[in-house]
Amino acid sequence: MEKPILVGAVAYDPRVVPIWEGMRDYFREAGPPIDYVLFSNYGRQVQALLDRTIDIAWNTNLAWVRVHVRTNGACRALAMRDVDARFTTVIVARSDSGIARLSDLRGKRLALGSADSGQAAILPIYYLQQVGIDPARECTLLRFDLDVGKHGDTGTSELEVLRALREGRADAGALAESTWDRQLAAGKVDPAQIRLIWTSPGYCHCNFTALTDFPEERGRQWTDSLLAMRYDQPRWRQLMDLEGLKRWIRPDAATLEGYRVLFEAVEKQKLAL
């Protein structure tokens, strides 16, 4: 019997279990077979990949940076969701704050998500630094370090950013554009009270990471099967909806450039990896 490929994922939400039960069912038919291991945080998952106790890790962009740095680049991204190839961060502000552009954030109260969230903390700080603002010195930072270890996956800290804006405890806040769009669509944000002032350039988010010593042919077979999952097949549509994608893609060299900004942000902010 063929030995299953062992895939790691972080249990950031109850839907993770049905996602991975579905993934196991899918690969049981499509091959090669998989099994999965759930972790409480990305630190443990990254270490398991480095220890070779799992074969593939479903990593955030920060977890990818960690693996890349700790292996001196001896890793590869096998696949990602379509939405991961161009992720964006937004800065939103209270309409009565007088903030219309990034430069207006000087002297203002800025709400940030979890410290290990690329989209809601690490990259917002980086983008502000790029336009000459030192948030630590020139803004009053309101941080919501919730679910640390899960790299912002739960979205809890971003909802607290919006709450702080609604309650007038912050003038502006940073969060993923996808979170902002969902909250707007659900009627949880009053666009007359809080408005979008800036959207970041696109960058990459999650990917399936393997080390370079994972057999290349085995990785290719697994990736080919994953990319063959079709949204127009009713049996797998619910699984893809739970994971928030319409198709899986194979990252090429140009796509992987979308991680460069986070590498630079981590280095500039001297974050421990």
Q: Nearest Cα to 46, choosing from 21, 71, 80, 23?
A: 71
Q: Nearest Cα to 203, choosing from 84, 66, 53?
A: 84
CA distance 144 to 128: 18
pLDDT of residue 1: 67
Convert the pLDDT of each residue in 118-150 to its tens digit: 999 999 999 999 999 999 999 999 999 999 999
Name the stretches of the chain with pLDDT < 70: 1
pLDDT of residue 273: 83
Q: Nearest Cα to 117, choosing from 56, 169, 179?
A: 179
Convert the pLDDT of each residue in 169-207 to its tens digit: 999 999 999 999 999 999 999 999 999 999 999 999 999
Domains of the chain: 5-85+205-268 (3.40.190.10), 88-199 (3.40.190.10)
pLDDT of residue 203: 98
Cα-to-chain-centroid distance, residue 152 = 7
CA distance 168 to 70: 42
Cα angle 81, 209, 255; round to 5: 50
pTM of the model: 0.96
Cα angle 82, 218, 43; round to 5: 60
pLDDT of residue 124: 98
Per-residue HEC secondary structure of the chain comes to CCCCEEEEEECCCCCHHHHHHHHHHHHHHHCCCEEEEEECCHHHHHHHHHCCCCCEEEECHHHHHHHHHHCCCCEEEEEEEHHHHHECEEEEEECCCCCCCHHHHCCCEEEECCCCCHHHHHHHHHHHHHCCCCHHHHCEEEECCCCCCCCCCCCHHHHHHHHHHHCCCCCEEEEEHHHHHHHHHCCCCCCCCEEEEEECCCECCCEEEEECCCCHHHHHHHHHHHHCCCCCCHHHHHHHHHHCCCCEECCCHHHHHHHHHHHHHHHHCCCCC
